[in-house]
Structure 1
């Protein structure tokens, strides 16, 4: 499967985008990361990692805490550069299976235990608007950008199903034209092919596309795809340091404003 869902494709306008004190001319599309950019989901991801580790630890005692540390979870903190924050589901599952395999299980058994833990964690922790709300001002920003004629897309390390579920639960389908996630076995960010594929689907040039995300892999992906710009978002300031390579780092998404040229 392609990992891309096309909601609609319409004629776009060329606009100037101002992001804080930085301006980008001749922009046709903006591609957004999902977790930590549109959705305030870090608390959810932290609890999801804990449940996965707890289910695995129940099968193989002593593996839970080391696995959480490998995922970038320590106490109440989630490492913004860690696997749970930026890795795909497939990458996280393979990492969990590797820890299990170190206990002497076969690789097939390790994968089966990891998959069971991931399924059980999903079952016991449904993702709702309460546990993964939109950040303030996100809906209004998407509405104004869409009204200005900018094509909008989501490109997430989450699965295509997870991306579609996010758009559905927040009722954002009217704003986005392409939804892209990472399929099992597919390369994840910062592979530039992910962004290039979204641009091809939108029928826009990467040189007329902005990437907006909260992690270093979003910024690196934009650079490697020769995008018009890489915009970092650091809602609480905790990820600002890892976004040093971005063209600009914003504290709020509503600092992104479109002007028709």
Structure 2
């Protein structure tokens, strides 16, 4: 068990920490923006008037990506459904709109197939993970990314030995459904009230809150423009703000 101290809060006793991946462990802001642009361009080839609307829907604002927007927070499937809805506004039948969006997403995916090498760990997160692991804290990842991408990230940066469990959005349900959190706790062999969730989105905070977690720690360290977070016990700008102590009582 450990104690987690941040901004005057002490969360204890803590047996496990569940991390989000993108924007929490991995630096994805630039990558997600260029992927969103590629998807919008390909979808809009037959419908040029859709490009700006798609970019806005994905959360591309000028030279940055909205950290609370669809591309940053939503699953691939949620992004695809939203894109298909825009295609359908052009008088395209729904199944054809879905096929158009799916084909465009597939083309963009092939252009940016090697995500892990382009999305390195954010400064300080490896040290945070290592400290938690060293003190015996169970660690997991629940992400809106695909499970294969979580594994690629862990393998690329030699982090797999530190984590007991990881789950992507291809395994239902997805965040913010509390069942995702509760199932992870069960698999880790820990109680929800002794588990902390660390993430950069309201979906992380809501999942933790609804699942009865010990705490939800919101983080802004993955974004140039900090996201507004509404369901957190505290919000941190750096991994260095988390102090970890052994809890022997």
8 Å contact from structure 1 (residues 190, 217) kept in 2:
yes
Q: What CA distance in whole angstroms lies between the structure 2 residues aligned with 1:199 and 1:128?
A: 28
Q: Find the partner of 1:132 among 116, 119, 141.
A: 119
1:211 equivalenced with 2:185 (yes/no): no
Aligned partner of 1:9 in structure 2 is none
The Cα shift of 1:49 comes to 0.4
In structure 1, the residue matched to 2:157 is 170
TM-aligned CA distance change 1:130 to 1:77, over 3 Å: same
- Alignment pair present for 1:150 and 2:137: yes
Q: TM-score, normalised by structure 2?
A: 0.93
The Cα RMSD (Å) is 1.7
- 1:24 aligns to 2:8 (yes or no): no
From the superposition, tell whether residues 94 and 129 of structure 1 become closer, same or farther in structure 2 (CA, over 3 Å).
closer
CA deviation after TM superposition for structure 1 residue 147, in Å:
1.0
2:22 is the counterpart of 1:35: yes
In the alignment, structure 1 residue 195 sits paired with structure 2 residue 181: yes
Whether 1:63 aligns to 2:50 is yes
| Contact 1:215–1:243 (CA under 8 A) maintained in structure 2 | yes
**What is the distance in 2 between the residues matched to 1:105 and 1:70?**
19
2:144 match: secondary structure:
coil
2:78 aligns with 91
Deviations 1:39-72 (A, max 9, x none): 1101110110000111111133322211111111
Judged with a 3 Å threshold, the aligned counterparts in structure 2 of structure 1 residues 94 and 217 are, in CA distance, closer, same or farther, namely same
Q: Is the CA contact (8 Å cut-off) linking 2:115 and 2:149 kept in structure 1? A: no
Query: Per residue, is there more helix in 1 or in 2?
Result: 2
1:20 deviation in Å?
A: 4.3
SS class of match (2:218): strand
**CA distance 1:196–1:17, shift in 2 (3 Å):** same
- 2-side partners of 1:247 and 1:74: how far apart? 29
Could you tell me which runs of 5 or more consecutive residues in structure 1 were left unpaired when the two chains were aligned: 1-13
| In 1, Cα distance between equivalents of 2:10 and 2:204 | 19
Tell me the matched-pair count: 246
Q: 2:116, 2:149 within 8 Å by CA — same for their partners in 1?
A: no
